[in-house]
């Protein structure tokens, strides 16, 4: 004979809470303690003595290089977008000219010069 207890399913386990991404709450709102400030000062002193801190000239150079890279990426992105837009216009123009029996190589060169 079968018990009614053996026929009941086991209780469902609670699902884990969904993961949250993005900005989270701070661990603490308290400022640094005196011990934290002392450890920080000791660490900075050690880094300077070990010549692991970059000089002001190195910092300025790093900032300059990063700025140049940022400008280069922005310029490349702009040029790529211009090429894409010009390509779309060029293809529309070519399809119309092809249908009309015309061909214009100068517009192809204009596309490559963007």
Q: pLDDT confidence of 114, banded at 50, 70, 90? A: very low
pTM over 0.75: no
Question: Does residue 8 fall inside a structural domain?
Answer: no
CB atoms within 10 A of CB 114: 13
Question: Does residue 68 fall inside a structural domain?
Answer: yes
Task: Give buried/exposed letters for 80-113 (b at 16+ CB in 10 A, else e).
Answer: eeeeeebeeebeeebeeeeeeeeeeeeeeeebee
C-alpha to C-alpha distances, 106 to 81, 87, 109, 110, nearest whole angstrom: 21, 14, 5, 6
Question: Does residue 48 fall inside a structural domain?
Answer: no
**Domain span at 107:** 61-114
Question: Does residue 72 fall inside a structural domain?
Answer: yes
Question: Does residue 70 fall inside a structural domain?
Answer: yes
Question: Does residue 27 fall inside a structural domain?
Answer: no
Count of structural domains within the chain: 1
Which of 23-27, 31-35, 64-68, 81-85 has the weakest average pLDDT? Answer: 81-85
Structure tokens at 15: 């699902």
Q: Which of 23-37, 69-83, 87-101 has the highest mean pLDDT?
A: 23-37
Question: Does residue 89 fall inside a structural domain?
Answer: yes
How far apart CA 111 and CA 113 sit, in angstroms, is 6
Question: Does residue 43 fall inside a structural domain?
Answer: no
C-alpha to C-alpha distances, 45 to 50, 100, 108, nearest whole angstrom: 9, 77, 62
């Amino acid at each position: 004979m079968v018990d009614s207890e053996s026929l009941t399913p086991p209780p469902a386990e609670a699902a884990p809470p969904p993961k949250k991404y993005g900005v989270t709450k701070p661990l603490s709102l308290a400022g640094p303690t005196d011990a934290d400030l002392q450890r920080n000062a000791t660490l900075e002193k050690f880094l300077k003595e070990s010549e692991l801190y970059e000089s002001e000239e190195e910092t300025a150079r790093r900032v300059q290089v990063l700025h140049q890279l940022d400008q280069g990426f922005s310029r490349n992105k702009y040029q790529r977008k211009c090429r894409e837009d010009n390509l779309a216009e060029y293809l529309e123009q070519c399809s119309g000219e092809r249908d009309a029996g015309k061909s214009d190589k100068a517009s192809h060169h204009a596309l490559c010069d963007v």
